[in-house]
Structure 1
Amino acid sequence: MPGVTPTMGRRRLGGVLKALREKASLTNDQARKKSGVSTGKLSRLETGHNVVYAKDVRALLDAYDAPPEVRHKVLQLAALAEEHGWWEEFDDVLPAGLDLYLSIEQAAASLLVFGTSVVHGLLQTEDYTRAWIRAADPGSPNAELERLVSLRMKRQELLSRETDPLSLWAIFDEAVLRRRIGAADTMRTQVEHLLAMSERPNITIQILPFEAGAHAAASGPFTLVEFAEPTDPEIGYVDCAAGNVYPEKPAQVRRMKTKFHHLTSSALTPEKSLLFIRKIAKELA
């Protein structure tokens, strides 16, 4: 079904089905002949772009001679792939393509983030979020803006979930703290919020000061997503004017990870970063 947006569940299932097909040494056409699943549908299933039907998955498992224990796990994964995400309640305002990122973020164990102009959404206060969205789209109706604010606040529950809260390591360029978003008290509250969030064991914040000069990620902000499951490879995320990009080839991910490690060395240590943030908070008082 062309046009179906991939979710993390579908991507996971697709990766497993592709691995099983390759293990069976079958081409797409050979898999079609053995399973009765068209090559087009198979291709879309393997890339996460198809609605998942159990009968198709069973037919493919038969074609790949999957053992019982593998069949059970894959069929469980197929059922999970079609579960609705919490973000679907915001379909009326959800930006195009964001549902894929939210499903990836929901499944993540940790995020490595480099930001250059704005506080990461998971660390924003309501007023800061409201001011940022209003600046980005001055003509949006108030009701729509408030729905987007609620969406962002809902995302933040990942950081405090009871089981395996999301780990976040954020490196912010000094410009993130210097750029005034909203009124003075909005910015001050946001900076104080960063201090409070940094006290959580699953959150690390570093500041890359202007005096650090040129650095490894001068090309712009990015996110690296890591998963608990060893079968889920790391994936990158870059939000740009042309749309969301997901670098996932091993070489691409390695380059992004290398950049992040260089940034951790160029930035102030977490301890010194907190002192720097406190200094900014006093300046805003």
Structure 2
Amino acid sequence: MSPGDTPAVARRKVRLAIKDARNAKGDTQSQVAEAMDWSLSKVMRIESGEVTISQYDLRPLLAYLGVKDRAVIDELVQAAKASKQRRQWWDDKRYQGLLTHAMRQQISFEAEASTILSFAPAVIPGWLQTEKYALATMQQFSEDFPEQTIAARAAIRIERRKMIRERNPRPTMYVLFDESVLLRRVGGLETLREQLAEISAAIEDGWVIARIHPLESPYAPFGHYDLLYLSDEENSHAVLYRESGPVDEIVDDPIRIARHREGWDRMWESSIGEEDSARRIAAAATARSLPAAQGSSD
């Protein structure tokens, strides 16, 4: 747990630690509320992440729950302080009122995640998009959003890509492309080729691992989504970002997260291998025209 945690990540770490400690002790939320002389709703809102907990409430709660490791307590107290911070780079005034709450949370988790899995059934994931591709993608929503919103959301995708690339250490990034994504001329052929060249460079640089899901194979009945893991690849340590057209959401339900991970794993296993996928993406980036759709050769 880092003192540099973003507020959303810090809040999640604290609430998960509280919930895990309560379960380990064998208490219900009602028993905790009674022992701490709090309302049940306060305990429920802390564990759900609806509210932050102050360090002055956290220390006695941890003592009651049997958390005695000084290093763990100090880390959780630092995280509780971080959870109350507000300003981040994506809070800049140029983005105010132009990003959804889910988008802000997604960016916050991207800044801290150790592993990110993306499924792209329609377009390149936002965190990989070039400037031209991002703008062309967002302009498809010209009937839903004003030009200012389109420009801001395209610009922040470039900032997200930069943030992830400059992280040290970088997260492990896996992306699963439906084959149609690599054939669809978003912004025109040159824009697509530039985008594919960027993906090819990221693969060669080692910070992106990609597979192509062939057209002949069915995929799980989900739209675009990202699974962001904050420590190990346990579903309890993950958040799910789902996007469908102009609508998006952050999902914290372990059951729904598990379903999306199972679907992702199934598709990953039935997809074209990394080496062959990398070759196809690199070839498409320099092709004078788009290749015909191809199935798996693995």
Answering whether residue 266 of structure 2 is matched by residue 265 of structure 1, we say no
**Unmatched 5+ residue regions in structure 2?**
1-6, 291-298
Q: 1:274 to 1:65 in 2, by over 3 A?
A: closer
Paired residue secondary structure (2:204): coil
- Which of 125, 150, 175 in structure 1 is aligned with 2:130? 125
Match of 2:78 in 1: 76
- Which of 199, 205, 223 in structure 2 is aligned with 1:200? 205
Q: Partner amino acid for 1:119?
A: I
**Unmatched 5+ residue regions in structure 1?**
1-5
Q: 1:37 to 1:245 in 2, by over 3 A?
A: same
Paired residue secondary structure (2:243): strand
- Once residues 264 and 204 of structure 1 are traced to their aligned partners in structure 2, the CA distance between those partners, rounded to angstroms, is 11
Match of 1:224 in 2: 227
Match of 2:15 in 1: 14
Deviation larger for 267-276 or 56-65: 56-65
Answering whether residue 96 of structure 2 is matched by residue 88 of structure 1, we say no
Question: How many Å apart are 1:187 and its aligned residue?
Answer: 2.0
Would you say the 8 A contact 2:110–2:164 is kept in 1? no
* Aligned residue pair count: 277
TM-score normalised to structure 1 length: 0.84
Match of 1:28 in 2: 29
Deviation larger for 59-68 or 270-279: 59-68
Match of 2:3 in 1: none
Q: Partner amino acid for 2:281?
A: I
- What CA RMSD, in Å, does the superposition of the two structures yield over aligned residues? 2.7
Q: 1:33 to 1:115 in 2, by over 3 A?
A: same
Q: Deviations over 1:138-161 (max 9, x none)?
A: 464433332222211111134322
Would you say the 8 A contact 1:158–1:165 is kept in 2? no
Question: How many Å apart are 1:246 and its aligned residue?
Answer: 1.9
Q: Which runs of 4+ in 1 moved over 6 A?
A: none
Deviation larger for 126-135 or 178-187: 178-187
- Once residues 68 and 247 of structure 1 are traced to their aligned partners in structure 2, the CA distance between those partners, rounded to angstroms, is 28
- Once residues 116 and 58 of structure 2 are traced to their aligned partners in structure 1, the CA distance between those partners, rounded to angstroms, is 31
Q: Partner amino acid for 1:217?
A: A
- Once residues 98 and 65 of structure 1 are traced to their aligned partners in structure 2, the CA distance between those partners, rounded to angstroms, is 36
